[in-house]
Amino acid sequence: MTLPRCLPYVLKQVTRHRVRSLLTVAGIAIAMFLFTVVQAMSEGVGEATSASANETTLVVYRKDRYCPATSQLPQDYQRRIESVEGVVSATPTKVVVSNCRTSLDVVTYRGVPKDAFLRDRGDALEIVAGSVADWQRRTDAALVGETLANRRALRPGMTFDAAGITVYVAGVFRSDDPQDQNVAFTSLEFVQLAGRDQLGIVTQFEVKVADASLLEDVAASIDETFATAQEPTATFTKQAFVGRIASDLIELVGFARWLGLGCLAAVLALVGNSILLSVQSRVSEHAVLQTLGFSGRLVTALIVAEGILLAIVGGAVGASAALAVAHIGSFALSVEGTSIPIIADPALLLTGLVVCGVIGVVAGLFPAWQASRREIAACFRTA
């Protein structure tokens, strides 16, 4: 095949027009960095808000409240919730956040009754450092999610301070649930005592239901139980709860997808512009190639290959940089105690490369076709 033999020629065109190529690649890389970050956020939204088929957890919140500071429920609702048919257990949870605004670096405490927590959730947490025994022994101990630990460089034995609460890091865990990954679990009483008049008050209950098919009925029954109480409840599936609390954030991420598309348009424009200029400045060179016997189709292919090469190199640089930053930074978009993780999924690199490859073809095709259609003899006349 002729084309593979000619690919070194394409490579030389790119590497030996160094400034032009570097500028184009840098522009593409920046756009693809943004695109990949947006994709990583969108994946996080998907992961945080779409339920798995065997999800059996409900969250009981104070009705018409949207943040942990105002959602206050009596801790003794626990017995009444647990007496609702279909409920296996209810874990009272007090949530405290270090920052009431949306931020990439919020510390979220979840105060839980330690024994009940370990009984219900223990299996789902994989301890990657430190020990659970240590956590049970000390009242100020925290089990820290991996994302939070990475972001704050926390290791067992350290203490850290956030929201006016100082805790001792007893262990670091990994969990499949993106909400867990970004929180520090401490003892319920410890968190209650840190606030004024908070003993006996919790933010929410995490309710285990016997079977996934019962979720809706159980939620309705719980809310009915407290319908006329002074503190009525609103019960959601875990994912619906995140979707409700973080709805502004999710809307924002949804809007950011348009920015992502804008980035792709920018890549298209960059590659298109670069190829167009290079083709225009090489009119006689392409005529020479054709004089030597290169067919119009081969010239087209070589120009398109140049577009693909530029786009893919830029895309690889930008997407890898975005994934590296997301991975090292372990960011999560947090609001009111819920988290949207920014997921550094390696598959996003592949997505980026494929998208760039396609853009390279689209951007190169028209100038390439034009170049191959020109009258060869006329090209030498104008040059």
Partner 1 sequence: MTLIECRELTREYRKGGSVIRPLDGLDLDVDRGEFLSLMGPSGSGKTTLLNLIAGIDSPTSGRLLVDGTDLAALTRSRLAAWRSEHVGYVFQLYNLVPVLTAYENVELPLLLHPLSRRERHERVVSALGRVGLDDRDSHYPRQLSGGQEQRVAIARAIVTNPAILVADEPTGDLDKASAHAVMSLLQELNSELGKTIIMVTHDPATTAYSSRTLHLDKGRLAEANESREVPA
Ligand X SMILES: Nc1ncnc2c1ncn2[C@@H]1O[C@H](COP(=O)(O)OP(=O)(O)O)[C@@H](O)[C@H]1O
| Bridge partner residues of 130 (DSSP) | 171
Q: Which of residues 142-181 bind partner 1 (CB under 8 A)?
A: none
C-alpha to C-alpha distance for 22 and 313, rounded to whole angstroms: 10
- Quote the Cα angle for 324-246-251, to 5°: 80
Neighbours of 220 (CB within 10 A): 12
Buried b (16+ CB within 10 A) or exposed e, 185-205: bbbbebbbebbeebeebbbbb
Task: Name the minimum Å distance from CB 382 to ligand X.
Answer: 9
Alpha helices in 163-295, H assignment, sequence order: 178-181, 188-194, 215-225, 238-245, 247-280, 283-292
Q: Which of residues 259-288 bind partner 1 (CB under 8 A)?
A: 284-285, 287-288
Q: Which does 5 bind (CB under 5 to 8 A by kind): ligand X, partner 1, none?
A: partner 1
Task: Name the minimum Å distance from CB 378 to ligand X.
Answer: 4
Q: Which of 101, 230, 292, 382 binds partner 1 (CB under 8 A)?
A: 292
Task: Name the minimum Å distance from CB 27 to ligand X.
Answer: 37
Q: Which does 16 bind (CB under 5 to 8 A by kind): ligand X, partner 1, none?
A: partner 1
Task: Name the minimum Å distance from CB 297 to partner 1.
Answer: 7
C-alpha to C-alpha distance for 360 and 267, rounded to whole angstroms: 9
Q: Which does 69 bind (CB under 5 to 8 A by kind): partner 1, ligand X, none?
A: none
Q: Closer CB to ligand X, residue 79 or residue 381?
A: 381
Q: How many residues bind partner 1 (CB under 8 A)?
A: 25
- Site pattern 293..332 for partner 1 (x: CB under 8 A): xxxxx-----------------------------------
Closest CA to 286 of 277, 57, 207, 295: 295
Q: Are 301 and 295 in contact (CB under 8 A)?
A: no
C-alpha to C-alpha distance for 62 and 337, rounded to whole angstroms: 14
Q: Closer CB to ligand X, residue 51 or residue 378?
A: 378
- Between the CA of residue 223 and those of 59, 62, 82, 210, 213, what are the distances in Å? 11, 10, 13, 18, 18
Q: Is 383 in the site for ligand X (CB under 6 A)?
A: no
Q: Which of residues 363-382 bind ligand X (CB under 6 A)?
A: 378, 381
Q: Are 344 and 335 in contact (CB under 8 A)?
A: no
Q: Which does 363 bind (CB under 5 to 8 A by kind): ligand X, partner 1, none?
A: none
Q: Are 359 and 264 in contact (CB under 8 A)?
A: yes
Instruction: State the residue number with the nearest CB to ligand X.
Output: 378
Measured N-to-C along each axis, helices 247-280 and 238-245 cross at an angle, to the nearest 10 degrees, of 70
Q: Which of 161, 217, 251, 375 binds partner 1 (CB under 8 A)?
A: 375
Q: Closer CB to ligand X, residue 67 or residue 376?
A: 376
Amino acid at 60: V
Q: Closer CB to partner 1, residue 14 or residue 250?
A: 14
Q: How many residues bind ligand X (CB under 6 A)?
A: 2
Closest CA to 275 of 154, 359, 172: 359
- Site pattern 17..46 for partner 1 (x: CB under 8 A): x-----------------------------
Q: Closer CB to partner 1, residue 289 or residue 332?
A: 289
Task: Name the minimum Å distance from CB 13 to partner 1.
Answer: 6
C-alpha to C-alpha distance for 69 and 170, rounded to whole angstroms: 26
Task: Name the minimum Å distance from CB 283 to ligand X.
Answer: 14
Q: Closer CB to partner 1, residue 9 or residue 255?
A: 9
Instruction: Please give the residue ranges that form the binding site for ligand X (CB under 6 A).
Output: 378, 381
Query: What residue ranges bind partner 1 (CB under 8 A)?
Result: 2, 5-6, 9, 12-13, 16-17, 284-285, 287-297, 375-377, 380
